[in-house]
Amino acid sequence: MAEIKGTLIPIGGAEDKGIDYIKNAKENSRFDFFEAGILRQIVKLVERQGAPKIELITTASSFPEKMEETYCNAFGKLGCKNMKHLFITHREQVDTEENLNRLKECNCIIFTGGDQLRLTSILGGTELLACIKRRYQEEPIVVAGTSAGAMAMGGTMIYDGNATRAHLKGEIKFSTGFDFISNVIIDTHFEKRGRFNRLAQAVAVQPGILGFGLAEDTGLIITGGNDIEVIGSGIITVLNGKNITYTNLIDIAERMPISVENIIVHILSQGEHFDLTTNQPARPGVS
């Protein structure tokens, strides 16, 4: 398979948007919004290909106009004036000539938060999604997603599962994601909403995939489809099930507590790297 030329940026949600009037806003991020915030990182990457031309896809959200206002304001503070809103709430709106032409002309696509199942059920199998994936694979475009928009990026997607019951068999519901990145499942708001057990069960059920739990205001820059760099103010948790030695999943009834032994766990913060070819943390430039 040819090397992927695009950049993928899943974000754990609640990224700093430079809204200084929110109480304790500066405490929510350890990095200056204008210099090192996640949205600034996106802008820097896009600017390598010229002036940013951003398309915002709010399909996951029940409040698309509010999302548009929020992100246009945030990126406007960073000097990006060319942000357009791809307003899609139903499948019949997706594959219009205008939408497809706009996606061919932009150099950044951002999926907002909301309901990831709504996002995939509306965009799945469309020419618009095929166009995004094709451009991501063949061109140096940036594709970012936050919260639900990040969860939809993997080949497998969690679409439901209450964290307080995530230790019970069958409480986690899965569907197919957009498959921008295969053999990966992404969970968001990971620390704040206590989702470790949820992701652990997902990996135990499918030990051939890697689980990435993204804290809020924390994300990944994935280049070449393999190299991952952590960005943002929090941590990411990586769960690898390849060495699982025992689980009771096949022996217990639905909604009984699960047991899983020997899951590999990595905790990484800003600037750390992870290699998807080896499934190990990496130190670029260090042999």
Tokens matching residue 157: 């997607």
pLDDT for residue 23: 44
Q: Which string of DSSP letters, residue by residue, matches 235-277?
A: EEEEEE-TT--EE-TTTS-TTSBP-EE--EEEEEETT-EEETT
What distances in angstroms separate CA 242 from CA 5, 97, 157, 259, one per listed residue?
A: 28, 44, 19, 16
Sequence-distant (≥ 6) Cβ neighbours of residue 267 within 8 angstroms: 235, 236, 237, 238
19 has pLDDT over 50: yes
282 lies in some domain: no
187 has pLDDT over 80: yes
What domain range is 176 assigned to? 7-276
Lowest mean per-residue pLDDT among 153-162, 213-222, 277-286: 277-286
> Residue 11 sits in a domain of what CATH number?
3.40.50.880
1 has pLDDT over 90: no
DSSP 181: B
52, 16 Cβ separation under 8 angstroms: no
Average the pLDDT over 212-234 and give the result.
98
For the segment 65-113, what is each residue's pLDDT rounded down to a tens digit? 999 999 999 999 999 999 999 999 999 999 999 999 999 999 999 999 9
Measured distance CA(216)–CA(190) in Å, rounded: 7
Average pLDDT, the chain: 95
99 lies in some domain: yes
Check 29, 61, 85, 189 and give the catalytic one: 189
203 or 35, which is more confident?
A: 203
84 lies in some domain: yes
Q: Nearest to residue 231, comparing CAs of 25, 29, 59, 27? A: 29
For the segment 104-157, what is each residue's pLDDT rounded down to a tens digit? 999 999 999 999 999 999 999 999 999 999 999 999 999 999 999 999 999 999
- Number of domains present in the structure of the chain: 1
281 lies in some domain: no
Q: What is the largest CA-CA distance in the chain?
A: 57
Measured distance CA(108)–CA(141) in Å, rounded: 6
78 lies in some domain: yes
Q: Nearest to residue 230, comparing CAs of 239, 245, 242, 217? A: 217
153 lies in some domain: yes
Check 147, 171, 229, 233 and give the catalytic one: 147
Could you count the other beta carbons within 10 Å of the beta carbon of residue 207?
18
1 lies in some domain: no
213 lies in some domain: yes
For the segment 26-67, what is each residue's pLDDT rounded down to a tens digit? 455 567 888 889 999 999 999 999 999 999 999 999 999 999
62 is catalytic: no
Sequence-distant (≥ 6) Cβ neighbours of residue 283 within 8 angstroms: 273
pLDDT for residue 21: 41
22 has pLDDT over 80: no
For the chain, the first-to-last Cα distance in angstroms comes to: 26
216 is catalytic: yes
Confidence of residue 20 (pLDDT cuts 50, 70, 90): low
pLDDT for residue 34: 86
